[in-house]
Chains A and B, each alone.
Chain A
């Protein structure tokens, strides 16, 4: 199954970044029996005309790094376990139609939109007087003057016009052509901004009305299981006299959009959307710098984004029988919400409910321990133990492109993500920030007690376990990279269960 993940606007990019971190840790979608969803490929498509958005650029860089790392680890294998398990591909990578020219990127090309001011885009100057008057009623002057390469600046009424052009783009045609029966589509967007709030219903409408479009797979596409997460207000912005984006409008815009969604997407008898996930937080975040787009928009990662990233995984795991009827047509919309186990400001693993903990605790702990191990342990182990088993891990591994991409780039993004979530409100502190001692790495989770104190976990604990696993395993047909990460993942599974208190 392919899950086409359409991440719209700044929130879309930030949620996608969290999904990447969870995927890197090995969080996989599971079906209703708790088994990993087989043959899953995730095809992220970022839809945002604001190309200089820092959040978008950070996510794009991480996506590229993720793909590089995963390709080196598993090649084209789909069903794998461990770190970087979810296969993430670009539209171009899976496209067989050579008549459509696409860049090998995760970003939807919106060049038709992003070059222009909105007034030029709609041909305001060529309208007759009556139409100009009507347009002026619908759009404020600053909206008409809005350069769309910085997004739609909190104005969904602009976005809904501009993004309607997407259906004619090569990317949309490519998506339509590679979409097969059994594949699914999931949207990530916020409801209180401009780009996401506008793009989500427009895109769903275009997909459901695919029969009118000049594309292949029209019938399959309009019956496609479609889900989406609508991120309700969750962050605060600094006060600014420029009111193009105003926190005071967030709730009003959300209410209006929710009414609109109810009428067009999610109503009781509506089946445009198979599943809708709502998430938001009334707890006020630390205010972000006011930036309608001109300065790049770089917002701190947030708990809501991490939780929102679980929604597409949940959607991928829903049984077909709950999404489509016997004739393959979409069933009425299912709605999902999320709640914490404890309504606290400082979020550790224990603040999550049991099902979330079961999904994320062990993978994230393993990944964090890997981060500490690569930073503090591996270099000193080269030439010993498991590193000397075939395929040998020599010191030049530490200067390889794979290792540098993993540690210098992806892990740096990981630490940044953790730090930003910690430095936000609610403050997410899954791990003790800056702590290199593995025994004390997990916030509020201790190692198990023994008669002589508590068990310890350090690099040597991993080395011993990896030595044992490596002795009994056969990696001679695998790459060094695979051996290292697979060994660590297996060792960490045992160590986390044996040495840390069980919180699941």
Chain B
């Protein structure tokens, strides 16, 4: 195991933990609406949604680099397909949870939720990039995807 690659992995984990620790700031720096943001906070959705986003990003990166891990899927555009899946799955899952929790509490934030998930989409993409560059080094066939190094 190369030292440099280990540093990448540790850096990725640290960045992800930092993201989780500063999740409220991270989301609200991009999108904050009084009322909706308060409800996200009060209903614990600022804990659930980032967790799901992190899980989806790291899981999809893991699947790509270690489960798929194929010479037939080792090009940058294959990685882009995975990125596309991440930025679809994480917001859809987030939106479903938001809707469910708001419904249970008799609240209606359909438009705000949609915009919020657009922001979540961006963070999902960032987290997938971080996860990819943290773990790709030990992949047999995809370690040089998306950018050779």
Contact = CB atoms under 8 A, between A and B. Distances in A.
B85 to A, nearest CB: 21
A384 interface: yes
A471 B140 contact: yes
A464 B149 contact: no
A456 to B, nearest CB: 13
By CB atoms of chain B within 10 A, which of A383, A467, A468 has the most? A467
Given A388-B148, A388-B149, A468 B140 contact: yes
B148 A471 contact: no
B72 A460 contact: yes
Contacts of A468: 140
B148 A464 contact: no
B71 A463 contact: yes
Contacts of A383: 148
A471 B143 contact: yes
Interface in B68-84: 70-72, 74-75
Contacts of A38: none
Give chain A's interface residue range (CB within 8 Å of chain B): 10 to 19
B144 A385 contact: yes
B144 to A, nearest CB: 4
B122 to A, nearest CB: 29
Contacts of A471: 138, 140, 143
B141 interface: yes
B111 to A, nearest CB: 44
A467 B141 contact: yes
A397 to B, nearest CB: 15
Which applies to chain A's interface (DSSP): helix, strand, loop or mixed?
helix
Contacts of B144: 384-385, 388-389
By CB atoms of chain A within 10 A, which of B71, B138, B141, B144 has the most? B71
Contacts of A389: 144
A389 B144 CA distance: 8
Contacts of A463: 71, 141
B25 to A, nearest CB: 38
B72 A384 contact: no
Nearest to B143: A471
A269 B85 CA distance: 84
Nearest to A471: B140
A384 B74 contact: yes
A15 B149 CA distance: 47
Contacts of A388: 144, 148-149
Interface string A332-375: 00000000000000000000000000000000000000000000
A366 to B, nearest CB: 20
B18 to A, nearest CB: 30
Contacts of B143: 385, 467, 471
A468 B74 CA distance: 13
A384 B71 CA distance: 9
B149 A385 contact: no
Nearest to B147: A388
A464 B140 contact: yes
Interface string B113-149: 0000000000000000000000000101101110011
Interface in A366-421: 383-385, 388-389, 392
A349 B95 CA distance: 65
A468 B70 CA distance: 11
A209 B131 CA distance: 77
Contact of A384 (B75, B138, B140, B149): B75
Interface string A174-218: 000000000000000000000000000000000000000000000
A466 to B, nearest CB: 9
B3 to A, nearest CB: 14
Contacts of B74: 384-385
B71 A460 contact: yes
A468 B142 CA distance: 10
Nearest to B139: A471
Contacts of A392: 148
Contacts of B145: 384
Contacts of B148: 383-384, 388, 392
Nearest to A469: B140
B149 A467 contact: no
Interface in B28-62: none
A142 B72 CA distance: 68
Contacts of A460: 71-72
Contacts of A467: 71, 140-141, 143
B38 to A, nearest CB: 49
A385 B136 CA distance: 12
Contacts of B149: 388
Contacts of B75: 384
A181 to B, nearest CB: 48
A383 B145 CA distance: 10
By CB atoms of chain B within 10 A, which of A383, A384, A460, A471 has the most? A384
A392 B140 CA distance: 16
A385 B141 CA distance: 6
Contacts of A385: 71, 74, 141, 143-144
Nearest to B141: A467
A390 to B, nearest CB: 10
A464 B72 CA distance: 9
Contacts of B72: 460
16 contacts: A383-B148, A384-B71, A384-B74, A384-B144, A384-B148, A385-B74, A385-B141, A388-B148, A392-B148, A460-B72, A464-B70, A464-B71, A464-B141, A467-B140, A467-B143, A471-B143
Interface of B: 70-72, 74-75, 138, 140-141, 143-145, 148-149
Q: Which 7 residue pairs across A and B have the least CB separation, nearest first?
A: A388-B148, A388-B144, A463-B71, A460-B71, A464-B71, A468-B140, A467-B141
